[in-house]
Amino acid sequence: MTDLIMNNDGLIKYMDLLVSKIYKILPLSEEGLDWQKHTESLIIELHGYIDLVKDVRMFEVMFSLRGLIVLEYKTDIKRIVFSLINIVKKIKQDLKGCDVCGL
């Protein structure tokens, strides 16, 4: 793998997109749609993110998303989703203080 340094602005925009994708779990689950498939796709996407930018907090996001699927925490989905969104927002705030983030 080549050493890849991502532009900070791109990472910040990705955090906004990630918040939207995590939030999307709520209406999918409330409407009885396949929120698990959406969540699995999100986990796959996050594996790629972690390969590029080593941020331990993103493991927490991935593990929690996986836990939602495996354990089917239907009663706690809202609480867990908002907890994950808060983690991503904290990562975004930290990125705002970094000129260039990457490997």
For residue range 65-85, list pLDDT tens digits in order.
999 888 776 678 999 999 999
Looking at residue 103, its pLDDT comes to 36
Looking at residue 42, its pLDDT comes to 96
3-state DSSP call for residue 15?
Answer: helix
Looking at residue 71, its pLDDT comes to 77
Distance CA 82, CA 72 (A): 16
Looking at residue 1, its pLDDT comes to 31
What pairing do the DSSP bridges indicate for beta strands 5-7 and 100-102?
A: antiparallel
Summarised one tens digit per residue, pLDDT across range 27-64 is 999 999 999 999 999 999 998 888 777 788 999 999 99
pLDDT band at 99 (very low <50, low <70, confident <90, very high): low
Q: Is residue 95 predicted with pLDDT exceeding 90?
A: no
Q: b vs e for 62-82, b when ≥16 Cβ sit within 10 Å of the residue's Cβ?
A: bebbeebeeeeeeeebeebbe
Looking at residue 66, its pLDDT comes to 93
